[in-house]
Amino acid sequence: MKTRHFFSIVCSFLLMVSFADVNNAMAISKKLKKANAKIAKLETHNKSLRDQLSDCRDTASMLVATIANLNGRTEILTLQLKDQKATNEQVLNHLKDLSVISGTQAESINRFLETMGAKDAYIKDLQSAMARKDSITMALVMNLKSAIGNLDDKDINIKIDKGVVYIDISDKMLFQTGKYEVTERAREVLGKVAKVLLAHPEIDFMVEGHTDNVSYREGVLMDNWDLSVKRSTSVIRILQNDYNIPPEKMTAAGRGEYVPVADNATNEGKAANRRTRIVILPQLDQFFKLLENKPKS
């Protein structure tokens, strides 16, 4: 009887220990799951931070290039101002050496000096206009990058070349193969671009369609010229009808296969050449007005 009682006690003890081990194992398993979830979340956040850092570095590179360009222009204009000031000083020194000067001569000299002063002001206006244009262009690029987010550069690429802003959108994002109907994913991206463009009502832009060199003919379309134009007008109609961009601000253009950015001999090159490009047109009217008001020599 005592032996049975003892055996019962031992069994109860072992069961209690087993249940405790199971409970501990389950608790550890839950902690591991929580830890793994936190690690996955941190890894995702870390990737997002790396992508943001990459975008910041790209933007910084563009800013450095723009500043270098502005510095170069400023140096040229400064030298021109310096040369004109030197000419003025030469004239004044020459006047000091004259013992007699007629009224007609004095009036002519005064007009000359006034003209030189007007030229100085004209050059300063040009310098100010160029600096203002570059500042607006850089702000536009930064707004576009911020609005679009961390899309793959193979799908959409924003760049500045010789003061002009280009937005290149890949063919695979916008259209199905051989088609000109815009995909749903592309409509979302075009909406983000449209939001930035609407914030700059002074901007005019052109939508260019580009293809590779593979011959195309389907339905009423005769060739790559037709396909590139249809793709361009498809994008413009969405910007007008869905996002209310004024049609007078847009120009549709088809470039066909004739302005490639890569070698069509490879599949990668063909994929790069199949693209739609939005070109932000420079505001030349302001500079034309300055040129029209150029002081006469």
* Residue bearing the bigger pLDDT, 177 or 183: 183
Q: CA–CA separation, 62 vs 137, rounded Å? A: 11
pLDDT for 212 equals 92
Specify whether the CB–CB gap between 200 and 229 falls below 8 A. no
Per-residue pLDDT at 10 exceeds 70: no
Structure tokens at 181: 């109907």
Mean pLDDT of 19-33: 71
Q: In 3-state terms, what secondary structure has residue 221? A: strand
Structure tokens at 289: 């007005």
Q: What is the pLDDT of residues 264-293, one digit of tens each?
A: 999 999 988 999 999 987 665 544 454 455
Per-residue pLDDT at 194 exceeds 80: yes
Specify whether the CB–CB gap between 20 and 27 falls below 8 A. no
CA 108 → CA 121, 229, 289, distances in Å? 20, 60, 28
CATH number of 164-281: 3.30.1330.60
Per-residue pLDDT at 232 exceeds 90: yes
Domain range summary for the chain, segments of one domain joined by +: 164-281
